[in-house]
Amino acid sequence: MVKQTFKKHVTCIGAGYVGGPTMAVIAAKCPDVKVTVVDINAARIAAWESDDLPIFEPGLLDVVKKARGRNLFFSTDVDAAIRSADILFVSVNTPTKTFGEGAGKAADLQYWEKTARNIVKASASDKIIVEKSTLPVRTAHAMERILNANGKGIHFEVASNPEFLAEGSAVKDLLNPDRVLIGTQETKTGLAARKDLVDLYAHWVDRKNIITSNVWSAELSKLAANAFLAQRISSINSMSAFCEKTEADVSEVGYAIGKDNRIGARFLHASVGFGGSCFKKDILNLVYLCERYGLWEVAQYWEYVIRINEYQMTRFVQNMIQAMFNTIAKKRIAILGFAFKANTGDTRESPAIYVTKKLLEEQAHVIITDPKAIANAKIDLAGCKGTFEFASDPYAAVKGAHAIAVCTEWEEYKHLEFKRILKSMEKPAFIFDGRNILDHVRLFEMGFNVFPVGKRPLTHY
Ligand code: NAD
Ligand code: UGA
């Protein structure tokens, strides 16, 4: 048998929502590159090797299958994969710190630093280390100090290549990114690493969309991009509160302002609030860094994006209680959608978690349904006090309910048989559409009392 040779060996440490899909696409698009994805979580690696992938992402299985066993490999042998790599992507988790200095704001870098020390221990040759995780600005500096104090004469060049994919559209985003950003030092070795990374992505991304910068700009651009995106949602959500007081309609306002090219139409959908593993954590990290540099006004400005998000989730539940005659104790309430957005099973920081917990505090009986997120919902709510249950069938979830709260914009919820649903519910029947995805007038005419976000409620009383 002829042993296949590859031009480059790429390893990714961290086989999560970013590491898995990103490496699958690199492998699919670069058959001359061997890609190995490693993780300390053996169950996750086993799932990547099966057809039951550890994450739900449209189109992902096809991409994985195209390359798996050819030039895409999954393994728990972290040291071996470090040793063989020319380019090492690090995509481990960087959650908000929950202890000590900076608790509740700063990024917890323990997984990242552990990885760096592992790289030092396992390496026997020079390598490019790529920050794929989202990190505080100037992390690369600290990492270079740890890595290059290796005493083995090995040179590690640290580059920043932040990931901009969104869950639910990860494959599409990776195959056709708005841009790929590569930040390196402008030294001889830094520029050589830049060229290697640009050449890797140029296998499928137009070179004009591969942008380069210094390391710190790349690190900050990732935090800034998430902060700007979240800020747009908080901006429109703040307007939704105003609309509810004035009979303006937030969809009409969003459409009207989004028609201005300078503003643009995307990310102006009012909702129950934004969720996901990154917006809140990355803004908190930005706030923490600003405070550390003494930029108090800047810190406060960004912190308000999160405050408005919390306000929006609180308002949603308060509106529910108020509309249902100021008591929801013992009332059955169906949560339609638990994922933080459609087309994913991910529930990290999902507004549905907040809504459910608040409803349970009010002693409501909560029934949760979601096409992909029930397993994660069970973990999120483990140990919660109160009465709650799960139903995979939305019709079973709403049976006998006083109210429905739509928390995720799953396409299938738009096409439910609402006449059948109304028949099976307690009366008066309420729908709180936290995503503004339903046909409110039609539902009202059917007999529902409908409470959208940022629009006049449609009630029969
Ligand atoms: P994740 O929790 O899904 O995956 C991280 C993986 O790293 C886990 O499987 C964990 O077991 C593994 N890991 C941790 N320490 C390790 C070690 N020492 N050795 C080997 N494996 C280790 O996280 P994620 O959602 O993929 O996010 C990863 C990073 O990417 C974060 O910094 C995040 O901010 C950033 N990011 C995430 C998204 C997203 O949509 N989820 C998008 C862009 C950027
Ligand atoms: C977001 C960014 O969009 C990605 O570019 C980034 O790479 C990623 O964070 C990250 O760093 O993790 P993601 O969180 O996966 O991606 O999903 P988004 O589409 O941004 O949605 C985030 C939240 O905002 C969801 O809860 C969504 O429902 C909500 N949202 C989005 C709104 O409420 N209104 C909108 O108009 C848009």
| pLDDT tens string 228-254 | 999 999 999 999 999 999 999 999 999
Among 149-153, 173-177, 281-285, the least confident range:
149-153
- Measured CA to CA, the distance from residue 255 to residue 395 in angstroms comes to 33
Length of the chain equals: 461
Ranges in the chain annotated CATH 3.40.50.720: 8-213, 308-452
Q: Which atom of ligand 2 is nearest to the CA of 341?
A: 28
pLDDT digits (tens, 9 = 90+) for 384-434: 999 999 999 999 999 999 999 999 999 999 999 999 999 999 999 999 999
> What is the pLDDT, as a whole number, of residue 3?
61
Task: Please tell me the number of the ligand nearest to residue 258's CA.
Answer: 2
Ligand 2 residue neighbourhood (C-beta within 6 Å): 134, 163-167, 226, 229, 233, 267-269, 271, 274-276, 278-279, 340-341
Residue nearest to atom 37 of ligand 2 (CA): 267
Distance 412 CA to ligand 2 centre (A): 20
Is pLDDT at 376 greater than 80 in this prediction? yes
Q: For this structure, is 30 an active site residue?
A: no
User: If we measure between CA atoms, which residue out of 312, 289, 309 comes closest to residue 299?
Assistant: 289
Mutate-to-test residue for ligand 1 from 11, 12, 13, 17, highest number of ligand atoms within 8 A of CB:
17
Q: What element of type H or E holds 220?
A: helix 215-246
What is the pLDDT at residue 171?
Answer: 98
Cα of first residue to Cα of last residue in the chain, in angstroms, is 78
Catalytic residue among 243, 278, 290, 407: 278
Among protein residues, the one whose CA lies closest to atom 4 of ligand 2: 166
Q: Distance, CA 199 to ligand 1 centroid (Å)?
A: 25
pLDDT exceeds cutoff 60 at 435:
yes
User: Is the pTM of the predicted complex or chain greater than 0.75?
Assistant: yes
Q: Residue 461: which pLDDT band, with cuts at 50, 70 and 90?
A: confident
pLDDT (0 to 100) of residue 179: 98
pLDDT in tens, 309-352: 999 999 999 999 999 999 999 999 999 999 999 999 999 999 99
Please give the CATH number for the structural domain made up of 8-213.
Answer: 3.40.50.720
The closest residue, in CA terms, to atom 11 on ligand 1 is 41
**Which atom of ligand 2 has the smallest separation from the CA of 282?**
11
Smallest-distance ligand from the CA of 271: 2
Residue of 393, 27, 345 whose CA lies nearest to 175 = 27
The share of the chain scoring above pLDDT 90, in percent, equals 98
Which atom of ligand 2 lies at the shortest distance from residue 269's CA?
36
Bridge partners, residue 310, by sequence:
none
Q: Which of 106, 81, 103, 80 is nearest to 91 (CA)?
A: 81
Least confident window among 6-20, 143-157, 162-176, 287-301:
143-157
Q: What is the pLDDT of residue 314?
A: 98
Average pLDDT over residues 304-312: 98
How far is the centre of ligand 2, averaged over its atoms, from the C-alpha of 166 (Å)? 6
Residue identifier of the C-alpha nearest atom 2 of ligand 2:
166
The protein residue whose alpha carbon is closest to atom 41 in ligand 1 is: 17
Per-residue pLDDT at 2 exceeds 80: no
The pick from 92, 96, 108, 120 for probing ligand 1's pocket by mutation, whose C-beta has the most ligand atoms within 8 angstroms, reads 92
Domain 308-452, classified CATH 3.30.465.10, yes or no = no
Q: Are 151 and 109 in contact (CB under 8 A)?
A: no
* Ligand number, closest to the Cα atom of 112: 1
Output the pLDDT for position 359: 98
In the structure, what pLDDT confidence band is assigned to residue 4 with cuts at 50, 70 and 90?
confident
- 136 has a pLDDT exceeding 70: yes
Question: Helical H runs in 109-214?
Answer: 110-122, 139-148, 170-175, 188-201
Nearest CA to ligand 2 atom 1: 166
Per-residue pLDDT tens digits for 32-72: 999 999 999 999 999 999 999 999 999 999 999 999 999 99
